[in-house]
Amino acid sequence: MATDRSRRRTWTLSLAALATIFILYLTTGIASGLRSGANIVVTPFSWAVNVIAHPIGHLLAGTVNYSDVVAQNEKLRYQLARAQEKANQSWAYSRQLQQLTTDLNVPFVGSLPTVAAQVTTISPTNFASTVSISKGRNSGILVGMPVVANGGLVGRVTATTPNGATVRLITDTHSLVGVTFKSGVTTLIVSGHGVNNGLAATSVPLGTSIVPGTKLLTDGLNGGLYPAGLPVATVKTVTLTPGAATYNLTLQPAANLSQLSYLDVVIWEPAA
């Protein structure tokens, strides 16, 4: 009996142990399987998220970088434009200074004081040739004062305002200038023939020795309109009409009247 009871207990314990081992095996296997299953289920989602997220990340980074590039380009374009603007201004100032220096190079006025003025308006026609300048009575400029530029005489002041004046050019048809040449013994009258026809002198005595290239200067006669020694013109041609007792001259103005930017008004008035 005892032996049978021991056998039954041994079998019972053995079966229990086997059952426990089997249960543990099943439990471990299922858990591992579940973990593997979970990995299988989760992994595609993880892959999809990575596939989607990475391009979006690159796209966002590219957008940020592209915006930076655009901003930098805009900044560079602005800086380049400013540099170009400064270069243009520098060139313009240099050009203006060069023009000013050229136009106001008037050593022939000697010790006579002058007032520099800018030409603001040019109104040439075939009959009337005038310019407006930026200085007037407030700068001491009066009607009748001579006006010169690089090369020689330009004209004379015919009207003034506090801050401006009108200058009649020597090519104006109402302009007359007394001139002389060489020793100053012979005097001539130079008249304007319009902006397209320049200057001329008529009734020059046959005994006058004058040839092309001769320079004519203001005569400075007492009571004249201009001080002595201002360059007026150069003789271009000398014409003798058959049977006439005088020459006719065509003249080239000493100053370049077609490119007037700055002028000098000579502070000088004719003697009473």
Q: Which residue has the tokens 């006025």?
A: 109
Task: Name the band, by pLDDT with cuts 50, 70 and 90, for residue 123.
Answer: confident
Q: What is the mean pLDDT of the chain?
A: 76
What pLDDT is recorded for position 70?
A: 73
What pLDDT is recorded for position 52?
A: 45
- Cβ contacts of residue 83 below 8 Å, gap of 6+? none
The predicted model scores a pTM of 0.62
Across 44-48, 145-149, 159-163, 190-194, least confident range: 44-48
pLDDT above 60 (res 40): no
Give the integer Cα–Cα distance in Å for 135 and 116.
8
Give the integer Cα–Cα distance in Å for 219 and 190.
11
Q: How far is CA 203 from the centre of its chain?
A: 50
What pLDDT is recorded for position 109?
A: 84
Sign of CA dihedral 47, 53, 59, 61: negative
For 79-123, what is the HEC assignment?
HHHHHHHHHHHHHHHHHHHHHHHHHCCCHHHCCCCEEEEEEEEEE
The more confidently predicted of residues 89 and 188 is 188
What mean pLDDT comes out for the span 14-32?
Answer: 54
